[in-house]
Amino acid sequence: MNHKFEKDAWSVLAKSAKNFGFVATAQDTDNYARLWSRDSAIASLAVLSHGYQALYPTVKSSILNLLDAIGDGDVFPSNVSFDEDGVRSGQSFGGPVGRTDSPFWWAVTALSYMEVSKDFSNKDAIADAIEEIERRAQAWEFNNKHLMYSPASSNWADEYPVEGYILLNNILRYWMLKKVSRVLLSDTYCEKAEQVLGSIKYHFFGEPAQAQNLFTPAQSQKVDALEGGQRILMSFTPGSTLNHIDTLGWSISMLLGITSESTTKKMVERLRKEVGGTLAPAHWPIIDKDHTLWGAIASNYAYNFKNHPGHFHNGGVWGLTQGYTAAAMNTLFGENHAYMASYERMLESSMEEHSFAEYYSYPDLKPGGVKNLCFSAGSYLIATAAADQGEAFTAIFERQLKVLMAKAVKVAEELAREVVQKSPAKVYRVSGESGCGKTTLAKAIVKEHEAQGKKAVLISQDEYFHLPPRQNHNKRVEDFEWIGLGEVDWKLLNRVIDQVLDSEVTSVEVPEMDWELDTKEWKTMEAEKVDVVVIEGTYVLGEKREGEFGIFFEHTYEDTRENRLARNREVVDDFIQRVLEREHKIISGLREKADLVVSKNYTITQP
C-alpha cells in the first residue's frame, strides 16, 4: 500500500537530524531543540525499521551523546542541550521527578542499532550502561517481585495522574530485557525477562501466569470482578487501581506479541466500544471537572496547563499513540483497519498549516502543540514499516519467532501432505511435548483432508481436562503426582470421537475451557458427515485405540523453549520447569505407541 506521507515524514526526521543526534523538532521552540532520550529513540527506531542508512549516523550520535551525558549516581538523562557548535551545554534528568522510561527507550534503541546496522563498536559501553539501568530497575521494585514502582510524572505522560506499578514503564523494561538477552546472549537477562513478563500478564492483563501477588486482598476482589477489557490495568498502588486505556502501553504490548489472543481481543474491542475503533487517544476516558482525578491532573503542569478535557494527555490523539496503534493493527491484522486511514486523514487536513502535530484534540481533531515533531513523524514511519513486516522491523519488536512460526506452518503442511498420502486413517492422534508443533501439524492434517473434499474436525486434549486451567494448575501445586494422563477425561474424549464419526449423529455437545473465567463451558459441535477426526495433545497417544493412527514428536521441552515463550501461554518459572520435566518423562514413554515419528529436523521416521 502506498503511504503518501512517507516523504514528508522523512523530511521531518532529516531536518531534526543534527550532528549530535535527533532533536524533538527542528523548530527552536521551548526545550524541543534538545536531544531527548525518548523522542530520539522513536525517531531512531523508525529509521532502523526501514533500514534508512542515510540517517544511521544520527542514530548513533543520539545513542552515544545520551550515554556520555549520564549523571552522578549513573542517573540517565531525560534530555541534553547543545550549543551552536554542537558542544554539550547541559542536561536534564527530569522535572519534579526523573523519567523512569528514558533509560529503557535508550537501551532498546542502542541494542536495535547494533543488531540492524551490525555496528558493535560500542558494545561494551552499551552493555555496561544496560547493566546499570537494570540494577536501578531492580532497586525500583523495592520488593524483588519483578514490577517497578514509579512515582507520578515518571514517563512520557508526565502531566497525567498515573503512578505506582505502571504498565508502560514495565513493558519498556521487559522490551529491554528481552532484547538484551537475545542480542548479547545473556541467560540472566532472559530469566529476568520471563519473570517480569509473568508479573505483567498476571497483574495488568489478568492472564493465567505464575507471579508473586502484589494486590491487597481488597484489590484482588475488585480486579477479579472486572470483566472484559475493563480488567486491563494502566496502573495500581496498594490503595488504588486505574483501568484507563493507555494506548501506547497497549500498542507496544501487542507489537511485542506479549498479549494473549484473549487480551488482544479485549483491547481491540474496548477501543472500538469506547472510542470508536478509529482513533487512539493517549489515555481514555477523558478526565473532566467532575472526575475524581480532576484535582490531580489540574495541579500537575510545568509551563502552562495543557490537559484540558480532550487535549494533550487527557484524551488528545497523539501522532505517537495513533502511529503505534496503527503499527500494532498492521502487524496483527494487516492493513484492513481504520487507524492508519484515520491518521492519514488527520495529517492531510493539517499538513499545510500544522504538519505532524504533537497531538490532535478530541473530538474535533484540531492540531495542537508543536508541529513537525520527530516522534509524530517517526511513529507514522513505524506504522508503515509494520505494514511491510521487514526483517529489521521484526527484529526491533522481537517478532522473529512469529516469523519462524509462520514458516513452521509451511513445514507442517508438507508433513501433513505426506502423512495423509501414505497413512490414510479416520482418526489421527498427534502427541508430543509442549511447543513441539503438534497443534500446527494437526491443523495442517485437517486442512489437507478438506483440500481433498473430505470433512475433518480437530479436537484438542486441552478442552478435556477434568479441571479448568487455573484450577488444574492449583491442583498440580497441591499434588504434584496429579500431573499425567489422569488429568484428562478420556472417557468423555473417546465418546465424543465415536459420536462425531457416527453417521447418524449430526451434532455433539463438547466441552470448551474459558481461560479468562477459568470455567468449563459447553458448546455444540456440528458433526454431520464427518470423515476424519484429528486429536492433538500431550498425552493423546496414551489412549490410542485399535485402528487409530498415532504421530509422535520427538522434540523435548528443552528443544521447544523458544516456541513456548512465543505463544505467551506460560511463563517458565521453577515450578513450570518441574512440570515440564515430569511431563517429559511421561510423554517420552508414549513414543512406542506411535505409527510415525516427527524427528527434530521435521522429517518423518518410524518409531
Q: What are phi and psi of 29, to 5 degrees?
A: -120, 125
Whether residue 1 is contained in a domain is answered as: no
Predicted local distance difference test score (pLDDT) of residue 454:
94
All cell numbers assigned to 528: 454431520
Task: Return the axis-axis angle of helices 374-388 and 37-50, rounded to nearest 10°.
Answer: 30
Q: Is the domain of 438 the same as that of 541? A: yes
Q: Is the domain of 464 the same as that of 339? A: no
**CATH code, 255:** 1.50.10.10
Predicted local distance difference test score (pLDDT) of residue 413:
87
31 confidence band (pLDDT: 50, 70, 90): confident
Among the three residues 359, 378, 398, which one is the final residue of a domain in this structure?
398
All cell numbers assigned to 443: 491443523
Question: What pLDDT digit, counting tens, does each position of 526-583 carry?
Answer: 999 999 999 999 999 999 999 999 999 998 888 776 555 555 445 556 788 899 999 9
Q: Count Cβ atoms below 10 Å from residue 137 Cβ, excluding itself.
A: 21
Q: Is the domain of 360 the same as that of 289? A: yes
Whether residue 228 is contained in a domain is answered as: yes
Among the three residues 398, 431, 456, which one is the final residue of a domain in this structure?
398
Question: What pLDDT digit, counting tens, does each position of 205-259 carry?
Answer: 999 877 899 999 999 999 999 999 999 999 999 999 999 999 999 999 999 999 9
Q: How far apart are CA 177 and CA 194, in angstroms?
A: 9
Predicted local distance difference test score (pLDDT) of residue 50:
96
Q: Span 462-476, mean pLDDT?
A: 94
Q: How far apart are CA 504 and CA 507, in angstroms?
A: 10
Predicted local distance difference test score (pLDDT) of residue 581:
93
Task: Tell me what the pLDDT averaged over the chain comes to.
Answer: 92
Q: Is the domain of 368 the same as that of 303? A: yes
**Under a CB-based contact definition with an 8 Å cutoff, are residues 586 and 557 in contact?**
no
404 confidence band (pLDDT: 50, 70, 90): low
Q: Is the domain of 370 the same as that of 331? A: yes
Read off the DSSP letter of residue 303: S
Residues in Cβ contact with 41 at an 8 Å cutoff, skipping those fewer than 6 apart: 62, 105, 106, 108, 109
Question: What pLDDT digit, counting tens, does each position of 380-394 carry?
Answer: 999 999 998 888 999
Residues in Cβ contact with 466 at an 8 Å cutoff, skipping those fewer than 6 apart: 472, 487, 488, 489
Q: Is the domain of 408 the same as that of 331? A: no
Predicted local distance difference test score (pLDDT) of residue 571:
53
**What sign does the CA torsion over 318, 322, 327, 332 have?**
positive
Whether residue 412 is contained in a domain is answered as: yes
Whether residue 446 is predicted with pLDDT greater than 50 in this model: the reply is yes
Q: What are phi and psi of 455, to 5 degrees?
A: -100, 120
Q: Is the domain of 389 the same as that of 415? A: no
Question: What pLDDT digit, counting tens, does each position of 54-107 carry?
Answer: 999 999 999 999 999 999 999 999 999 999 888 999 999 988 888 899 999 999
Place of cell 501439524: 441
Q: Is the domain of 155 the same as that of 255? A: yes
Predicted local distance difference test score (pLDDT) of residue 515:
78
Predicted local distance difference test score (pLDDT) of residue 318:
97
Q: What are phi and psi of 267, to 5 degrees?
A: -65, -50
Q: What are phi and psi of 425, to 5 degrees?
A: -155, 165
Whether residue 132 is contained in a domain is answered as: yes
Buried b (16+ CB within 10 A) or exposed e, 36-68: bbbbbbbbbbbbbbbebeebbebbbbbbbbbbe
User: Would you mind telling me the total number of residues written for the chain in this entry?
Assistant: 607
Question: For the chain, how many structural domains are there in total?
Answer: 2
All cell numbers assigned to 358: 504533537
What percent of the chain clears pLDDT 90, i.e. is strictly above it?
A: 77
DSSP 383-434: HHHHHHT-HHHHHHTT-HHHHHHHHHHHHHHHHHHHHHHHS--SEEEEE-ST
Global confidence as pTM: 0.76
Among the three residues 377, 398, 419, which one is the final residue of a domain in this structure?
398
Buried b (16+ CB within 10 A) or exposed e, 303-319: eeebbbbbbbbbbbbbb
Strand, helix or coil for residue 595: coil
Q: Which residues pair with 514 in a beta bridge?
A: 519
Q: Is the domain of 384 the same as that of 410? A: no
- Please report, in angstroms and rounded to a whole number, the separation of the first and last CA atoms in the chain: 49
Q: How far apart are CA 532 and CA 423, in angstroms?
A: 13
Q: How far apart are CA 93 and CA 410, in angstroms?
A: 50
Predicted local distance difference test score (pLDDT) of residue 386:
93
Question: What pLDDT digit, counting tens, does each position of 350-363 carry?
Answer: 999 999 999 999 99
**CATH code, 505:** 3.40.50.300
Predicted local distance difference test score (pLDDT) of residue 568:
45
Nearest to 66 by CA among 56, 49, 85, 81: 81
Whether residue 375 is contained in a domain is answered as: yes
Whether residue 102 is contained in a domain is answered as: yes
Q: Is the domain of 575 the same as that of 537? A: yes
Predicted local distance difference test score (pLDDT) of residue 500:
95
Residues in Cβ contact with 292 at an 8 Å cutoff, skipping those fewer than 6 apart: none
Q: Which domain holds residue 534?
A: 402-605
Rounded to whole angstroms, what are the CA distances from 582 to 433, 481, 543?
11, 9, 19
From the CA atom positions of the chain, what is the Rg in Å?
26
Whether residue 515 is contained in a domain is answered as: yes
Q: How far apart are CA 516 and CA 60, in angstroms?
A: 44
What percent of the chain clears pLDDT 70, i.e. is strictly above it?
A: 95
Phi/psi zone of residue 185: left (φ > 0), alpha (ψ -120 to 50 degrees), beta? left
Predicted local distance difference test score (pLDDT) of residue 161:
93
Q: How far apart are CA 78 and CA 227, in angstroms?
A: 37
Q: Is the domain of 352 the same as that of 486? A: no
Whether residue 17 is contained in a domain is answered as: yes
**Under a CB-based contact definition with an 8 Å cutoff, are residues 549 and 423 in contact?**
yes
Read off the DSSP letter of residue 23: B
Q: Span 506-522, mean pLDDT?
A: 90
Q: Using H for helix, E for strand and C for coil, what is the string for 203-254?
A: HHHCCCCCCCCCCCHHHHHHHHCCCHHHHCCCEEECCEEECCEEHHHHHHHH
Q: Is the domain of 430 the same as that of 385? A: no
Predicted local distance difference test score (pLDDT) of residue 590:
95
Strand, helix or coil for residue 36: strand
